[in-house]
Homo-oligomer: A and B are copies of this chain.
């Protein structure tokens, strides 16, 4: 958390309301032909109007040039240094399917794979089997019982699953079994630290038993495991900032990230409109709301410029229902940029604004990367976004006499 020790006594609990809208993959770059970015191309009159009376700028999710995954991108916005609080692949995968992952548990990303009669890998993705095939296999693996441990296997999609182990004395310091090559056998899971012996031994036992269970399968006759990870221990956002924070997100991964940060997750529907309904219904119950909008990132990841433009326009139609609530501070942020021409997350600074009674507008004419370059916030580490929101909502007192 940003300078938590020095600022610890600066945060105060007040009745004021703070809303952080996180638009996943918000930022973009100009299209090669039109030379206009997704935000510049989209018709977003409500975002434009909001920008005209807000303080505008950019957040840098991790460091200039560093492209964040969703985990680091969100942790930073919640105030945690993403370089010192890492969430591994297995844990992220588990959070993404709503697994009840708790501190001390170990999760791994699993692949079904194909091995030949000599145990050598033929296909690391088992011919990309369909979920209809893999789901029953996951149920069979889920039946594997390891002494003294609670072991679960959850299907993700196609050949992918999550292995989740709960029990005393586990550690995630375990080497991966995926050799990232074919023609060779899967690797043995090894403890990378003495405290991981028990977990590594459990994983080896699981793999042996899984191979027995799957031995008659034609394609999915073996498993590979990687990204062994536990949840990082984070100070609760509510404790540090003296907030009663809530999260509203249609996608499980973002609910999981909010849980790690100590937010209460409010059940909601599958669309952003339903998320906004949920926010409005629970508006009296919390003083901080994180609300997540996914479609902009999904379109950017697909490299679909037009779809990202439409996703931003769709968001814009819902914005008035947030603004209407008139929170004491409203932040519009992004966990990272996802430029459609790049077709993935990128390192670009992410547009950020905060609106409150203290923002009168600063000549920024609309909501876009180019327009925000003239904003008063400049470029700031994403870890400082919370400070900005707290300040505008009157939740930080003067530092020092």
On A, residues with C-beta under 8 Å from B are 2-3, 6-7, 10, 29-32, 35, 58, 62-72, 82-84, 86-89, 92-93, 227, 339, 341-342, 344-349, 358-363, 369-370, 373-380, 384, 386-392, 396-401
Contacts and interface: CB of A to CB of B under 8 A. Distances in A.
B373 A86 contact: no
A3 B72 CA distance: 15
5 contacts: A2-B63, A65-B389, A67-B397, A69-B401, A87-B400
- Give the most central of A58, A67, A82, A227: most B CB within 10 Å: A67
Nearest to A392: B65
Q: Which of A89, A378, A390 has its CB near the most chain B CB atoms (within 10 A)?
A: A378
Contacts of A347: 387-388, 391, 396
A388 B64 contact: yes
Is chain A's binding surface mostly helix, strand, loop or mixed? Answer: loop
Contacts of A93: 401
Contacts of A362: 30, 369-370, 373
A117 to B, nearest CB: 34
A361 B398 CA distance: 35
A63 B71 CA distance: 24
Contacts of A342: 358
Given A92-B401, A400-B71, A360 B84 contact: no
Contacts of A341: 358
Contacts of A391: 64-67, 346-347
A361 B40 CA distance: 14
Contact of A400 (B86, B349, B380): B86
A259 B317 CA distance: 57
A126 B399 CA distance: 27
Contacts of A68: 398-400
A83 B1 CA distance: 14
Nearest to A90: B401
Contact of A62 (B29, B92, B392, B399): B399
Given A31-B360, A347-B387, 15 more contacts: A3-B83, A7-B66, A29-B360, A63-B384, A64-B380, A65-B384, A65-B388, A69-B398, A92-B401, A93-B401, A342-B358, A349-B376, A362-B373, A373-B374, A373-B376
A396 B67 contact: yes
A400 B82 contact: yes
Contacts of A359: 29
Contacts of A84: 6
A345, A347, A374 — most chain B CB neighbours (10 Å): A347
